[in-house]
Amino acid sequence: MKKWIGLLVGSLLMIGCNASRVISPLNEGEWRVGGHYGGPEVSSITLPLTSLYVAHGKTSTTSEYLAIHTTALAFQALQLEWGQLTQLKPSTEAWSPELNATYGIQTFTSLRDGAFRAYPFVGMQVPWMTYQIKPYLGSEIWIDPTYVWSDYGQGSLIHPSLHAGLRYINRFLEVGIETKWINPTRDFQIPQATVQGFGNIGAKGTYVTVAIRL
Amino acid sequence: MMKKLTLYLTATCCLFSMPSCDVDSPMLKGVVEDYHFPIPDPSDAYPVDSDKVHLFNIISHADIDNDIPQASLFALYLGEVSQIAHDTVILYLHGNASSMNQFWEPVRHLANLGGTHNYGVMTYDYRGFGQSEGPSTGTESMRQDLYAAMQFLYDNGLSNDRLMVIGSSLGSLPSGQEAGDATGPLTINKLLLESPQSSANFLMQNASGLSLSSSMLTDFNFDLAASMALYDGELLWFHGTEDDVAPTNSALEVYKAHKGSYKEAYLIPGVGHGFRWGWGKALWGEAIWSFMKH
């Protein structure tokens, strides 16, 4: 029972976490609609966070996406994410990865009282694109411009994360799994629950992605 | 264009069809259960006379402005109700457990500080705990419940100078808030905060790492440091250094914020959130009794 209390509370409190939306540019004009399931590990359980997204290939090297966090919405917080991925270097050899830059913004709006927060982010995705199953590495940095509003001075400006995953992409769909090391610069504390990180630092998460190519 | 329109419509439908959840639902541990207050053997460390154990109902009134309905609560009084007009009374707001059943021993302990049945002690179940109608939906509903208990004591002749309030863990939320607001039927001038939380925002931010507002997830909005800054009365503060439910550093801010007439702190190394059990029952009782005599 205690485990489930930890799970529930954790899923509510670590609501901001999510997986990489796109790891490589879509084809120009392509639309991709999908969802993510998963989250950080709290009290030995991977949190069942969910989100939906749509991505669009603006050009052959640039894609943008918009996502909504459905778990947050259930708790009356509208969490939206807009982001863009731009290819910096294509993959030229089987062993040579592609290099993509990502940037965008996460916004949170309380449907209770209208409280609003916005967190810009930048990152990179490094996928090996030669095969249909594509391994990738990446990192992301969230910036908290309102960190000074945190109670008792516990906020921080920079929130980094590292991730690695696999994506299978065919003509019709994309499926993937990703593991993430969330904010290895700090500990997370949830009452009556334990947040597992790598080496007890930060939090580790696992996410599943399913998307349809249109 | 059609695809974009479909997306917007889907997002709008999701927005208005999702259930309205609140983080406090899984956090609050109150459950419906029968009450069980066994009369201990006379040789027990905390004896009580059977005719001085009173289980009864109090009415927690509606708060229309905050959409809080009226609720019937169960309360427990140890002592002579007819003597409330003359006794010193401890009002004990218990922590996050199923019901008052879990606090039968500390309540008996308080009644026997300084002698057998030396103090009258009242405790009650918040909405959704034990047999009290529920649920608790935020600090507003808990405030109404506290007012109901205070009203009972006031109606039976208790005055402010003979009231001591103990807020343990979850109980620190309504008691600390009311100590600062001073809007209830009685005014708190003597308060013990045992293993208190600090603020709803802190809980949210400590778990997410971000500067998120607690209103993103819950109606349970509280800031005990702000409340203590408004509280003029005497404060006793208990906390353990190993408390992983209410982090010590933030709870300490609650103590620091108090600028009232007198304050006393016990920060005990190696003790967790179960403060009385961790520190030792005897030491716990002695510290409270000493504070009451101050």
The CA distance from B253 to the nearest CA of chain A, in Å, is 8
Nearest-by-CA chain A residue for B206: A189
Rounded to whole angstroms, how far apart are CA atoms A37 and A34?
A: 10
Rounded to whole angstroms, how far apart are CA atoms A30 and A213?
A: 7
Rounded to whole angstroms, how far apart are CA atoms A157 and A173?
A: 37
How would residue B16 be classed by pLDDT, with cut points 50, 70 and 90?
Answer: very low
CATH code for A2-213? Answer: 2.40.160
* Cβ contacts from A onto B, under 8 A: 131
Using the beta-carbon criterion (under 8 Å), do B215 and A147 form an inter-chain contact? no
Encoding tokens for residue A102?
């990502």
Helix axes B172-181, B139-155, angle to 10 degrees: 70
**What's the angle, vertex CA B132, arms to CA B79 and CA B177, rounded to 5?**
80
Percent of chain B surpassing pLDDT 90 = 74
Rounded to whole angstroms, how far apart are CA atoms B89 and B55?
A: 16
Using the beta-carbon criterion (under 8 Å), do B14 and A68 form an inter-chain contact? yes
How would residue B279 be classed by pLDDT, with cut points 50, 70 and 90?
Answer: very high
How would residue A16 be classed by pLDDT, with cut points 50, 70 and 90?
Answer: low
pLDDT at B2 over 50: no
B161-182 pLDDT, tens digit per residue, is: 999 999 999 999 999 999 999 9
Q: Which residues of B touch A72 (CB under 8 A)?
A: 216
Q: What residues contact B105, with CB distance under 8 A and at least 6 apart?
A: B46
Rounded to whole angstroms, how far apart are CA atoms A140 and A75?
A: 25
Question: What average pLDDT score do residues A160-185 get?
Answer: 91
β-bridge partners, A80: A68, A107
- Position A31 scores a pLDDT of 96
Nearest-by-CA chain B residue for A202: B209
**What's the angle, vertex CA B10, arms to CA B7 and CA B15, rounded to 5?**
125
Q: Which residues of A touch B202 (CB under 8 A)?
A: 151-152, 154
Whether A21 and A53 have beta carbons less than 8 Å apart is answered as yes
pLDDT at A155 over 70: yes
The CA distance from B206 to the nearest CA of chain A, in Å, is 6
Mutate to test the interface with B, among A189, A200, A212 (most CBs of B within 10 A): A189
For A192, the closest of B212, B245, B253 (CB atoms) is B245
Whether A23 and A125 have beta carbons less than 8 Å apart is answered as yes
CA distances from B21 to A12, B79, B114, B215, B253 (A): 10, 41, 46, 12, 30
For B216, the closest of A8, A115, A150 (CB atoms) is A115
Question: What average pLDDT score do residues B267-285 get?
Answer: 95
Question: What average pLDDT score do residues B33-46 get?
Answer: 94
How would residue A133 be classed by pLDDT, with cut points 50, 70 and 90?
Answer: confident
**Kind and range of the H or E run holding A3:** helix A2-13
Could you tell me the residue ranges of all domains in chain A?
A: 2-213
Please state the pTM of the whole predicted model: 0.80
Using the beta-carbon criterion (under 8 Å), do A76 and B208 form an inter-chain contact? no
Q: How far is CA B235 from the centre of its chain?
A: 15
- Position A205 scores a pLDDT of 87
Question: What average pLDDT score do residues A24-34 get?
Answer: 95
- Position B12 scores a pLDDT of 44
**What's the angle, vertex CA B116, arms to CA B113 and CA B120, rounded to 5?**
65
How would residue B260 be classed by pLDDT, with cut points 50, 70 and 90?
Answer: very high
pLDDT at A5 over 60: no
For B23, the closest of A12, A152, A192 (CB atoms) is A12
- Position B10 scores a pLDDT of 47
Using the beta-carbon criterion (under 8 Å), do A144 and B217 form an inter-chain contact? no
Rounded to whole angstroms, how far apart are CA atoms B107 and B281?
A: 12
More confident residue, B112 or B7: B112
- Which residue has tokens 């009258």? B120
pLDDT, mean over chain A:
86
- Position B173 scores a pLDDT of 94
Nearest-by-CA chain B residue for A188: B207
More confident residue, B33 or A130: B33
Question: What average pLDDT score do residues A179-205 get?
Answer: 78
- Position B225 scores a pLDDT of 94
Q: Which of B206, B224, B256 is nearest to B267 (CA)?
A: B256
- Position B18 scores a pLDDT of 45
How would residue A9 be classed by pLDDT, with cut points 50, 70 and 90?
Answer: low
Nearest-by-CA chain A residue for B224: A151
Whether A66 and A6 have beta carbons less than 8 Å apart is answered as no
Using the beta-carbon criterion (under 8 Å), do B203 and A13 form an inter-chain contact? yes
Whether B190 and B159 have beta carbons less than 8 Å apart is answered as no
Put the strands of the sheet holding B190-194 in their side by side order: B53-60, B71-78, B120-124, B89-93, B163-168, B190-194, B234-240, B262-268
**Kind and range of the H or E run holding A5:** helix A2-13
Rg (CA), chain A: 17
- Position A10 scores a pLDDT of 53
Nearest-by-CA chain B residue for A189: B207
- Position B7 scores a pLDDT of 44
